Amino acid sequence: MPFQYKKVLVIGATSGIGEALASRFVKEGSYVIVVGRRKEKLEKFVHEHGKDKSSAVPFDITELEKIPNFVTNITKTHTDLDCVMINSGIQRGFDFSKPETVDLKVVQEEFTTNYLSYLALTNAFLPFLKSKKEKAAIMYTTSGLALVPLVRCANYCASKAALHHYILCLREQLRDSNVKIVELFPPAVQTELHDEKHQPDIKNGSSIGMPLAEFTNEAYEGLAAGKEEVAVQQAEKWYENFEPQRQELFHNMINMMGKTRSGK
């Protein structure tokens, strides 16, 4: 199934889910701009897929003050950009019951990567995307852990839950615009997110979860079908168990607040 967006920017595409989906987008006929911190990984992607189908821009999204210039350069170079996918993420384990073991700088880095950078990127890209005559989209990778937290990585779960709530509200605020807001909920997937290098308490982390190729196929099918929310495997089970009811309460609140403002 061809992807409906013709030029896609994938942020966080040096490995794992981002790289795999970027490759799938190219395969399905889209031109893809890959972004990440590791220049050699980005260059490898372009070499494998061809300069006629892809390009690369090294960038560290945690440098929030540089995001406006980064976005300006992207949108001036690629005026036909119609889809931005923000996929960057890191996961760290913390035992908050032992404060002496918690490095607050690492906590801040994780939250900035997984949440604040997404907000800053959205703020910077929205004026450009909203100005387009055709349909556009911003796609966000959150996690099944945005719905059901895991004790060992509480800050990661909190950052993804915060992003999920932000996405719900942003989608409603943009409901009458040309910009579609899409959320992808992965389960645990076999990527370097769980590498022992970053999480020493996890052994053989790259073998944890769903095979990447299998995940990519299921995720792509949902994205290409135009769904606003795409939850895969275990994340889908959690989502279906309670998220529709919670979002019904969310929309009830929207309606109630709307009636309050109108005086009805």
> How large is the average pLDDT for residues 146-153?
96
Smallest CA-to-CA distance from 135 within 183, 74, 181 is with 181
> Is 223 in contact with 3 (CB distance < 8 Å)?
yes
* pLDDT tens digits along 48-85: 999 999 999 999 999 999 999 999 999 999 999 999 99
Question: What is the per-residue pLDDT for 259?
Answer: 67
Sheet arrangement for strand 229-231: 54-58, 31-36, 7-11, 83-86, 136-141, 179-185, 229-231
Domain boundaries, the chain: 7-262
Determine the distance from the C-alpha atom of residue 172 to the mean position of all C-alpha atoms in its chain, rounded to a whole number: 18
Record: fold of 7-262: Rossmann fold (3.40.50)
The confidence band for 209, taking pLDDT boundaries of 50, 70 and 90, is: confident
For residue 161, pLDDT beyond 70: yes
Looking at residue 261, its pLDDT comes to 59
- Band of residue 198 on the pLDDT scale cut at 50, 70, 90: low
User: pTM for this one?
Assistant: 0.93
Model confidence band, residue 2 (pLDDT cutoffs 50, 70, 90): confident
Q: How high is the pLDDT of residue 192?
A: 72
Position 205 pLDDT exceeds 80: no
- Residues 165-179 have a mean pLDDT of 97
Please tell me whether residue 83 adopts helix, strand or coil conformation.
strand
Give 115-144 pLDDT, tens digit per residue: 999 999 999 999 999 999 999 999 999 999
Give the model's pLDDT for residue 9. 98
List C-alpha distances in Å: 61 to 22, 25, 169, 211: 18, 22, 23, 27
Mean pLDDT across the stretch 155-163?
A: 98
